[in-house]
Amino acid sequence: MRARTLLTAFASLFYGAAALAQDGNPVGDLPIIGAPTASGIGFQPAATSLARDLQWLDGMVLVIITVITIFVIGLLGFVLLRYNQKANSTPKTFTHNTPLEIAWTVGPILILMFIGAFSLPILFNQQEIPEGDITIKTTGYQWYWGYEYPDHGFQFDSYMIGAPATGGDNRMTEEVRAQLEAAGYTEDEFRLATDTAMVVPVGKTIVVQVTAADVIHSWTVPAFGVKQDGVPGRLAELWFKAEEEGVYFGQCSELCGISHAYMPITVKVVSEEKYEEWLDWAIAEYGGTPREVADASAAN
Ligand SMILES: [Cu+2]
């Protein structure tokens, strides 16, 4: 036990660089909300109206699918029993039935129109990017994400804790365990937690510009209901407004090479005051534009 404690202390001395780089980061501890759970089959808790809409739509379509499936299986069963050779040895020989054909054409059209009446507004709501309170640009790299706050002129990279850039080899080791702990996570968050995180204030409209520098990646946070491919040379956008403070995880969702599985996304949603504090810290830490300069140039 003592050896392990010593080892952990030793490890955090040498491998804690990522955690150390975060010294003074005012974000502090937050509840982990947007994360997968062991044996889970449902959605992560919806933290935005987009995610709530998507999950509602999924439930609604599931009901329709279930009814159609039961209906078709029932019809098949009926035909098998009622019209097999034993029960119906001399079949009728007519072919067409106009009312029936109209019904099985119009019926599906009505069902599709019904689904479309709900799905299209949800789709448009996602894809029509509102005026953002804050714009953040994210760039996918093989194999990590970079975040840029253009209004404040700073950027930083975000590596999975345990990735080679943080001294690991994508596997769980004592060093990685120590790094996770130092960053306020547990083993459960391994391969989700990153050394730095995108930080946003709660209840604000965040517009995220998504691009990539090498191959196509995809920036995805399930609890926000957002997923956007980052394509080299193009700037795509997504938006969300997080409703609850906490930590939300996501993963690159476009096969992008050997370490595709090791470029997770961490978003920390904090109060507005905390966000301002963090912004001051980040401007100093990452060499951003001092507030006075940014404010002056914004005013011009
Ligand atoms: Cu990727």
Q: What ranges do the domains of the chain cover?
A: 2-40+133-299, 49-127
Q: 161: CA distance to ligand 1 center in Å?
A: 16
Q: 148: CA distance to ligand 1 center in Å?
A: 17
Q: 278: CA distance to ligand 1 center in Å?
A: 27
Residue 8 scores a pLDDT above 80 = no
- Cβ proximity of 54 and 122 under 8 Å: yes
Q: What is the pTM of this model?
A: 0.86
Distance (Å, whole) CA 147 – CA 209: 10
Provide CATH code, domain 2-40+133-299. 2.60.40.420
Q: 99: CA distance to ligand 1 center in Å?
A: 53
* CA-based radius of gyration for the chain: 26
Q: 79: CA distance to ligand 1 center in Å?
A: 50
Q: 261: CA distance to ligand 1 center in Å?
A: 8
Q: 47: CA distance to ligand 1 center in Å?
A: 23
Q: Could you tell me what percent of the chain has a pLDDT over 70?
A: 92
Q: Which residue has the tokens 């993963």?
A: 251
- Dihedral angle sign, alpha carbons of residues 162, 166, 168, 170: positive
Please list, in sequence order, all residues whose beta carbon lies within 8 angstroms of the beta carbon of residue 51, skipping any fewer than 6 positions away.
Answer: 43, 44, 222, 223, 224, 225
Q: 240: CA distance to ligand 1 center in Å?
A: 21
pLDDT computed for residue 171 by the predictor: 95
- Cβ proximity of 160 and 194 under 8 Å: yes
Distance (Å, whole) CA 57 – CA 122: 9
Q: Could you tell me what percent of the chain has a pLDDT over 90?
A: 85
pLDDT computed for residue 296 by the predictor: 79
Q: 153: CA distance to ligand 1 center in Å?
A: 24
Residue 11 scores a pLDDT above 70 = no
Residue type, 255: L
Q: 110: CA distance to ligand 1 center in Å?
A: 40
Q: 22: CA distance to ligand 1 center in Å?
A: 24
Residue type, 157: D
Q: Which residue has the tokens 């009814």?
A: 67
pLDDT bracket for residue 94 (50, 70, 90): confident
Residue 15 scores a pLDDT above 90 = no
- Token pair belonging to 241: 């407004």
DSSP of 92-137: ------HHHHHHHHHHHHHHHHHHHHHHHHHHHHHHSPPPPSEEEE
Residue 272 scores a pLDDT above 90 = yes
- Token pair belonging to 123: 């789709």
pLDDT bracket for residue 18 (50, 70, 90): very low
- Give pLDDT tens digits for 166-210: 999 999 999 999 999 999 999 999 999 999 999 999 999 999 999
- Give pLDDT tens digits for 219-230: 999 999 999 999
Q: 60: CA distance to ligand 1 center in Å?
A: 32
Helix (H, G, I), strand (E, B) or coil at 181: helix
